[in-house]
Amino acid sequence: MTEQSSNTFDSTSDSSFNSSEFDRRITIAMTGASGAPYAFELIQQLVDKNIQIYLLLSSAAKVVLKTEMSLDMPSAPTQSTQWCQTHFSAKPGQVIVLGKEEWFSPPASGSAAPKQMVVLPCSTGTLSAIATGSSDNLIERAADVVIKERGQLILVPRETPFSSIHLENMLKLSNLGVTIMPAAPGFYHHPKEIKDLVQFMVARVMDHLNIEQSLVPRWGYTR
């Protein structure tokens, strides 16, 4: 999540009003694994679908953003929220960036959290923390909430090879109903550029979120 954070969440601020005008709410978390373009493509697609997003970023995720996409997101959640509104051409309050200790924000509470959450990309460290229920920061707590409330949690790990520790953590979470979706794009759609591979994974995530998408043709179908 962001370097600078607040312990309170102001439900009357510009970052959280007008939630009723959106079709759905989803929590998106970015951690320190490689794969920032996947997350930004997913966010853009959800914004275009009129979905409200609570965006959680680890400190390492911001390093990955700068390394892979040459993007320097502001540290403070309020400034990051404004940055995202411009970057994704989002409506006011559509993308809300939360700090790592905003325990009073909706994703931290079982009575208020969105029922769907995607961790993309998901580092094996975050995977381990979620598997053990450590809840030391808002990403881990939000994931814990979705699991305990029997919501939908999708983890997109990007690591190779996987160790037995990674695989055991994935199996544990899968047995709890978590969807483990490694960032492993296919090639049967004949990708011609990197964006085609990125959109393949984003399309699979959207399919599991039950959100209509036309990024990649389905097997056996044509556009």
pLDDT at 222: 55
pLDDT tens for each residue of 32-68 = 999 999 999 999 999 999 999 999 999 999 999 999 9
pLDDT tens for each residue of 121-154 = 999 999 999 999 999 999 999 999 999 999 999 9
What domains are defined for the chain? 19-177 (3.40.50.1950)
**Cβ-contact 120, 153 below 8 angstroms:** no
pLDDT tens for each residue of 184-215 = 999 988 999 999 999 999 999 999 999 999 99
pLDDT at 78: 96
pLDDT at 10: 54
Q: How far apart are CA 148 and CA 140, in angstroms?
A: 12
Q: How far apart are CA 84 and CA 88, in angstroms?
A: 6
pLDDT tens for each residue of 151-165 = 999 999 999 999 999
Percent of the chain with pLDDT over 70: 90
**Cβ-contact 176, 149 below 8 angstroms:** no
Q: How far apart are CA 104 and CA 180, in angstroms?
A: 28
pLDDT tens for each residue of 90-111 = 999 999 999 999 999 999 999 9
Contacts of 16 (CB under 8 A, 6+ apart): 9, 10, 93, 96
